[in-house]
Chains A and B, each alone.
Chain A
Amino acid sequence: MKQIHKILAFLILILGATSCDSYLDVNDSIDNPNLDELNPNQLIVGAQALSAETYTNRVNRIGNWMAVAWSGNYQAFNDAYGPESRYQFSSTFYDDIWDDLFRYVSNFATIEKYEDGKNWGNQKAAAKILKAFYFQYIVDLYGNAPYTEAFDGTDNLFPKYDDAQDIYLSLIDSIDEAVSLIDASSESFGNSDITFNGDMDQWVAFANTVKLRLLVRLILKAEGDATLLSKVNSEFAELNSATFITEDVTINPGYADTDDRQNPFWEVYGFTPAGVETNQGRQTGPSLFAVNLMSGDPRLNLIWDGAAGTEQNGGGSSSGIGDGILKGPDADLPIMLASESYFLQAEAIERGYLSGNAQTMFNMGVQASFDTLGAGDASAYITNTDADANLGFNGGDALGAIITQKWIALTSVSGAELWIEYNRTGYPANLPLPANSTDPNIPVRLLYPASEYSGNSDNVISQSRSDAFNSKIFWDVN
């Protein structure tokens, strides 16, 4: 039995020798750097590109459909846009908007938190502005959402929901913070600013325009809420001397006509690198409402490739997407058009919150839209439609004309604005429901996604399909 002791002692010796940690230290990845090893310049390209991809392909798409700008080409696809046509709202309907926006915006939050002793003020400013830009859509499409407890990874797996209006006010504050972070001594962007190429004046103008949009959205709500109104008034006062964007805000990380590198809108609605038209492109066409509204408008044949529209959930053949929108597989991708900036200013002036001339801004907005689409000089169109009840500034309803012209200008680019602004203002007037629809009105929101019911069920607000038609977003006092 003496030997047993020796052997046991020996086994322990062996294990002692091998269990020194170096044998097990093989868990570091050689394939993949860590997220926290990337500096803001290395992270901000992907964050801009992917957020914009979700924006143009999903946020844009659902907005265009719900605001009846788009319809289906039922000749090519019998059940084109089936779930959209039938308003199949559920926790899985367009749930990728929530999931992807949060995921991509979290990269901006990572940049905001990055610390390595250097001054990344400009990058953090850009991240804050873009975070506000995209987060506004989370609130506009879903209402209450996690904000103050969001983006903490496993440190907080069950973030509570914040009040939608509170988030709006926080976003306004965060834009002010962003502008104050801009610093001439900040680390350079190098070539990683694929939006403004490091031009911080343009970032300031963009920040002001995003803030203007947040404030304009709040106006009608604030007019029934004195506390909110005083906040809104003081913020507008700051904007009176501000600069706003005068050119389309676009990104281009290096789009090219090869696999996985095409402009993302083109990739889905345009043509493959082999030149084959995508099925999404083939099934998409203008609504009958859109072609009627734009009858005689030179932009119609640029937004679309013809004037054939269909009734949603109807039948027949339609035109396709035009080359004013599909500019090429390597074209810059717009995320906010100059025309939107002018129409927002026009509305704020018209409602008395900014100083200036609303009609001038209205005209500049229409001209900017013509410029974006390559439609030339807009003055003849503006004159011809000046007294039009829907389209003309002097047709009797200037506010309606501003929103309706914005509806036309932002079609297929910022489609969500069409839907959101319709719900906020009721314009364009008389948007039709899809054929055979039994629903009471155009939906007012998206429903919370399945991932929240799976991952955050104590906090998420329980919903059913009817909420899509009657649970309005807080600014919707129309």
Chain B
Amino acid sequence: MKTKFTRILILFMVFVVQLSFAQQKTVTGTVTETSGMPLPGASVIIKGTSTGTSTDFDGKFTIDAKIGQFLVFSYVGYSTQEVEITSTLLNVVLNEDAESLDEVVVTAIGIKRKPDEITTANQVVKSEELNQASNPDAVQALAGKVSGLQINTTSAGLTPNTQITLRGNRSISGNNAALIVIDNIVSSAEVLSTLDPNTIESMNVIKGANGAALYGELGAAGVIIVTTKKGVKSLDKFSVNVISSATVEEIAYLPETQDRFGQGWGGNIESVDQGSWGVPYNGILIPIGTPDSEGNFRYFPYSHIEDNILPFFNKGINLQNSVSISGGNLDSGYITLSFLNQSLKGIIPDSRLTKNNFSLTTGKKLGKFSVQGIARYTSQKTNDVNSIDVDNKNEDNTYPGISMYQRLMNTAGNIPVQAFSSGDNNDHWTIYEDSPYWTLKNDRRYGNRSILDLSAEFMYEINENINTVLRSSIRSTQNNDEINRNGFQDTFFYVGGDRSIRSFYQIDNNDERFIYTDFLVNFDYNLNENITFKSNVGVNLTDRKFTREVNGGFDLAIPGLFQLSNITSLPDYWEENRRSRTQSMFAQLDFGYKDYLFLNITGRNDWNSVLPEANRTFFYPSVGVAFIPTKAIEGLKSDILHKAKLSASYVKTGNATALSPQQVPTVGLVDTFYPDSGLVSLIGQGSVVDQNVKNEFINSFEVNANLEFLNIQVPRITLDVSASISKNSDQILNISSSSATGFTNSLINVGETKSKSLEIDLGFTPIKTQDLELSGRVGFSTFNTKVEQVTDQSNRVEVANLGGTIGAYAVKGQEFPQLLGTAYERDDQGRVVVDSNGNPLINSELQVLGQATPDFILNFALNLNYKGIRLAAVADYRTGHQFYSGIKNQLSGQGRTYETTFNDRQPFIFPNSTVEGSGVNNTTVLTAAGSSGNDQALGEAYGYYTGDHNTIDENFVVDATAFKLREVSLSYDLPAKFIQQLKLSRFNIGVSGRNLLTILPRSNFDYNDPEFAGRYGLAGYGITPPTRYYALNVNLSF
């Protein structure tokens, strides 16, 4: 069908070319401010088109246009002017105007709008604010800067993972991640992370479902529209921009551990154990671990070493350099070429990342045609320790392979880890776990990623009112990952179990290709002198193809030769193919009455291949209105109330993101692994999809108010309020079904949620003089999604888990998501019920232990400018939510938490408890009767904490409140007179810090950064602890 589409398109082009007849003229002129100074870089656009240019250093411009067309002149800080072309010479004077400080905003499908015209809540982050702390990752750089936007960095390490959520989790099972659009092409956070942040001009964050009405299902959870810089500068010379930054990364904090009991087991010093269940510290020299290579034991005092695992880590260093060269304009042809090189050494020894990014943006206008193209290529190589232990030695799962960081954290407090750094797994402080130093050397993951992104935009002006745009893009993402693990022969397994490790090799190649095509027709009319009419009508096609092949196996014949043919075990191989396509037709109508009343209507129909054939198509409309009372009502505008804007919108959006490609028609099969006997040994898989499944719908209603007060040069106080309610119905839920259906899970349309959100942003500029400006912003945001229905006959569904009994659930009538897990049995007075041995009983049903969404988030931003010196800070505070700490659970089992030292590890009366059946407060029965039959008190404490205590999830749900000082930056722009001598146009030097300060509640003991728990409040182990960064950067242009 594609070929048919293309043919028709060509036909269409031919057809529209013939419609054009008006005469093109070259119009030149100068743009100046009221004092007569030329304005370089002012934008000149032919009204109703996206054709434009900008003025050169002398304020001069040249543009091809027709007599009778209007030119729109705009410049930051000046009021926009429209001038009709009456001759080929046009000189324009722009007036300074605080009101137009907001530039034109790029909104959905590339439509540019003035802020007044926008009927939904949005917030724009400009390059300067984005890059103030030189974060190499544009996604993370956005954190804390937009109210209602949560950027959760869920891991540390070379390539941290991030989750982007706007106004919380709205769908139980569908997509809750905001859509990323880069230069009008639907993209992904992954791609955004690889972009050079300095090439980004602005990010427009559309918060509700509202702005997404034109992006279809992908935009249902909000949209971030990224616009990169286009090299529209002077005609006669290239401008060059060079940015260099150096960043040092270090561990921000480690979990606080108890400092009273050292290495040991069951209440005895045990010098090869991994736990901290020994006797109290006594300072006596004791041998630790296995003998060194000469057969000698190493002696260390039996006493606590603060942060004893810190020497394992390095300081990370990130060097990033970028150069961009740009010149030309659209008429004469423009080009921007940029190159970025990043070289990162991580905090884990021997972990490295190198990234190169090339991008080329170019365009030219030829008569009524203009063409623009973007080509980006990113190649990223990583060389890292393999974080997940996939070794098969523990198939029975009682001693699961654990991550390197987990093993480090287990280490008892009296062990100086650096004394065991030889990298030999037989030279280690415990015989129960593998040496992290061995893992560093012998278990490696190599990643190679390349992303090629090509896009082109063709525009044709049919006449002054109508133009057409064809945009097409292809993005190809290739990942080639390898795991290389050497084998190990254990020679010390007297009692500890054999730690031998089999050598392993795996190649994982995957390839995703995404094609995105928009065809738009844009109309722009002045219906009469008061009413403007704009419309955009278009079609959109997407095609996504994913292939993956994994090959690997154990037991290399020649050690160290990582080759598939060198594998001697049965090879493990599989492949995966996924394909999905969508097509859409959409229309947008905009009416403007004078400059104060705006109406926006959209409609979109989607056809989605992942749905069953009968349910493939769905339509959804939106309507929005914006009103500017201060312009409409004479006399309302004053120095006190400078501006008021009110807007409201209703949006319906449909989506089927909870469905994967190929999921509906397949009641798939599972290989039961006996193909050798020549048998087909497949069975039905555990999950089933309702064959009549249909899309979800979200209905949302939003009201916004934007107010500006006290206009003294600039509005000194701004207040933006946005409130929304939405209902998400027919949610496609993967419910845990009754196993008696034959399936453990089924995907059906059932869930219904209602969401509310409120964002209040208060901006203030208390000081504004020639040399000094102080401004700031406080944002308050809250969002709440309540589960109205799960299924007809069940009240809850699990949406995520960490593998144990703890999980995140949607529970009917409660806020989503809830943490459910095992809990103490309590009586009706809330007392913990213990048995007659003093051991607490576990409630036989899972209990609600917390909620994963904060009650509210406060964002703070502060800017101080003094004679070219700029100080900026961004912070946020989240509270009211909880998370499950996998680290606390692990540390508790190893005797590392403070809790395990309660009552000096002597038997105790469980606080606020009652003995089963007694009905009275327990004042006599002591807890900590161990399961081991150990009669020592310390041994019993060991049994208690590793037994009952560790199986009760309630003990590991922690307050997720956090205050984070995310960025502080100080930068200085050298005065013009100096840089002119250096033949530069800009020289900026800055220092910054990221993640400088995190304040956590006492109950957290720094176990996990709550942000690592992600949107479902479940935090396991990452590969590294949280880190902080210090950066120095230099930015020069000539």
CA distance A151 to B667 in the complex (A): 14
User: Is B633 an interface residue, CB under 8 A from the partner?
Assistant: no
Q: How far is the CB of A252 from chain B (nearest CB, A)?
A: 8
Partner of A103, one of B575, B580, B686, B932: B686
- B4 / chain A contacts, CB cutoff of 8 Å: 17-18
User: Is B769 an interface residue, CB under 8 A from the partner?
Assistant: no
Stretch from B94-102, B251-259, B795-803 forming part of the interface with A: B795-803
User: Is A268 an interface residue, CB under 8 A from the partner?
Assistant: yes
A156 touches B741 (CB 8 A): yes
CA distance A268 to B690 in the complex (A): 36
- A27 / chain B contacts, CB cutoff of 8 Å: 579-580, 609-610, 661-662, 664-665
Query: How does the 8 Å CB contact mask read for A1-35 relative to B, with 1 for contact and 0 for none?
Result: 00110111011011101111111111111111111
Interface size on A, residues (CB 8 A): 120
Query: How does the 8 Å CB contact mask read for A313-329 relative to B, with 1 for contact and 0 for none?
Result: 11110000000000000
B680 touches A454 (CB 8 A): no
- B616 / chain A contacts, CB cutoff of 8 Å: 24
User: Is A47 an interface residue, CB under 8 A from the partner?
Assistant: yes
CA distance A277 to B805 in the complex (A): 28
A7 touches B746 (CB 8 A): no
Known: A20-B1, A49-B674. 16 other contacts (CB 8 A): A7-B16, A7-B466, A23-B583, A27-B580, A32-B662, A78-B931, A104-B683, A106-B741, A145-B740, A154-B746, A154-B748, A278-B394, A451-B744, A452-B739, A453-B846, A454-B796
CA distance A34 to B736 in the complex (A): 22
CA distance A438 to B523 in the complex (A): 81
CA distance A35 to B670 in the complex (A): 10
A258 touches B570 (CB 8 A): yes
User: Is B495 an interface residue, CB under 8 A from the partner?
Assistant: yes
User: Is B627 an interface residue, CB under 8 A from the partner?
Assistant: no
Partner of B537, one of A8, A46, A85, A459: A8
CA distance A94 to B662 in the complex (A): 33
- Quick one: given A103-B744, A452-B738, are A7 and B521 in contact (CB under 8 Å)? yes
User: Is A205 an interface residue, CB under 8 A from the partner?
Assistant: no
CA distance A451 to B798 in the complex (A): 10
User: Is A102 an interface residue, CB under 8 A from the partner?
Assistant: yes
A102 touches B688 (CB 8 A): no
B844 touches A464 (CB 8 A): yes
B674 touches A31 (CB 8 A): no
Q: How far is the CB of B26 from chain A (nearest CB, A)?
A: 26
A278 touches B396 (CB 8 A): yes
- A286 / chain B contacts, CB cutoff of 8 Å: none
CA distance A209 to B501 in the complex (A): 46
Stretch from B62-70, B696-704, B942-950 forming part of the interface with A: B942-950
User: Is A431 an interface residue, CB under 8 A from the partner?
Assistant: no
- Quick one: given A26-B609, A154-B748, are A90 and B842 in contact (CB under 8 Å)? yes
User: Is B792 an interface residue, CB under 8 A from the partner?
Assistant: yes
- A149 / chain B contacts, CB cutoff of 8 Å: 740
A150 touches B741 (CB 8 A): yes
Q: How far is the CB of B234 from chain A (nearest CB, A)?
A: 37
User: Is A301 an interface residue, CB under 8 A from the partner?
Assistant: no
CA distance A276 to B677 in the complex (A): 25
Query: How does the 8 Å CB contact mask read for B446-473 relative to A, with 1 for contact and 0 for none?
Result: 0000000000000000110010100000
CA distance A470 to B246 in the complex (A): 69
- Quick one: given A32-B666, A86-B948, A88-B842, are A159 and B738 in contact (CB under 8 Å)? yes
A274 touches B502 (CB 8 A): yes
Cβ-closest chain A residue relative to B795: A457
A30 touches B495 (CB 8 A): no
User: Is B613 an interface residue, CB under 8 A from the partner?
Assistant: yes
CA distance A436 to B677 in the complex (A): 49
Partner of A259, one of B554, B671, B791, B947: B554
CA distance A42 to B678 in the complex (A): 11
Q: Which 8 A-B pairs have the closest CB atoms?
A: A106-B742, A254-B677, A315-B933, A456-B738, A146-B740, A46-B683, A102-B739, A46-B672
User: Is B634 an interface residue, CB under 8 A from the partner?
Assistant: no
- B846 / chain A contacts, CB cutoff of 8 Å: 91-92, 450, 453
User: Is B794 an interface residue, CB under 8 A from the partner?
Assistant: yes
Cβ-closest chain B residue relative to A53: B672
CA distance A76 to B493 in the complex (A): 12
Cβ-closest chain B residue relative to A23: B1
Partner of A253, one of B468, B674, B739, B929: B674
Cβ-closest chain A residue relative to B661: A27
B743 touches A103 (CB 8 A): yes
Q: How far is the CB of A160 from chain B (nearest CB, A)?
A: 10
Q: How far is the CB of A315 from chain B (nearest CB, A)?
A: 3
User: Is B771 an interface residue, CB under 8 A from the partner?
Assistant: no
User: Is A41 an interface residue, CB under 8 A from the partner?
Assistant: yes
A14 touches B5 (CB 8 A): yes
User: Is B973 an interface residue, CB under 8 A from the partner?
Assistant: no
User: Is A109 an interface residue, CB under 8 A from the partner?
Assistant: yes
User: Is A357 an interface residue, CB under 8 A from the partner?
Assistant: no
User: Is A249 an interface residue, CB under 8 A from the partner?
Assistant: no
Q: How far is the CB of A362 from chain B (nearest CB, A)?
A: 37
Q: How far is the CB of A107 from chain B (nearest CB, A)?
A: 5
- B674 / chain A contacts, CB cutoff of 8 Å: 45, 49, 253-255, 261
Q: How far is the CB of B268 from chain A (nearest CB, A)?
A: 12
CA distance A272 to B394 in the complex (A): 9
User: Is A455 an interface residue, CB under 8 A from the partner?
Assistant: yes
B672 touches A42 (CB 8 A): no
User: Is B576 an interface residue, CB under 8 A from the partner?
Assistant: yes
Query: How does the 8 Å CB contact mask read for B370-411 relative to A, with 1 for contact and 0 for none?
Result: 000000000000000000000011111011000000000000
- Quick one: given A102-B742, A154-B748, A438-B836, are A18 and B736 in contact (CB under 8 Å)? no
Query: How does the 8 Å CB contact mask read for B586-619 relative to A, with 1 for contact and 0 for none?
Result: 0000000000000000000001111001001000
Q: How far is the CB of A172 from chain B (nearest CB, A)?
A: 20
